[in-house]
Amino acid sequence: MVRYKAIASDNATIDVIAYTNAQGDMTTHTDINATTWESPEINMPASVQAISFGGSANVATQGETGTLKVQIIVNGEVVKENISTGSVMSASTTLY
């Protein structure tokens, strides 16, 4: 079972996320407007050879710096993670 999770710092909001769905295609969600986002568990078939997850976030106050962490979680364990830092953040990771 695969799950995706994005976590922004308290001074930032997640705008967009994109992830590999159970058919092996990318799914995008916009206007997230939250500090955390988590997918439901996805039963990923073996025919899907690579899964990707990414997102973007912005800080609320100009001049501040924030963080965005994206995670791919398989069977409850974080197996891939990437972190972006700045005022406009974009992070992605892929599991093969």
Q: Could you identify the residue written with the tokens 């710092």?
A: 9
Provide the residue-wise pLDDT of the chain in tens; the chain has 96 residues. Answer: 999 999 999 999 999 999 999 999 999 999 999 999 999 999 999 999 999 999 999 998 888 999 999 999 999 999 999 999 999 999 999 999
pLDDT computed for residue 87 by the predictor: 96
Q: Are 3 and 39 in contact (CB under 8 A)?
A: yes
The total domain count for the chain is 1
Side-chain half-sphere exposure of 6, counting CA atoms within 13 A = 30
pLDDT computed for residue 62 by the predictor: 87
- What is the span of the domain harbouring residue 8? 2-95
What CA–CA distance (Å, rounded) separates 76 from 96? Answer: 17
- Predicted TM-score (pTM) of the model is 0.94
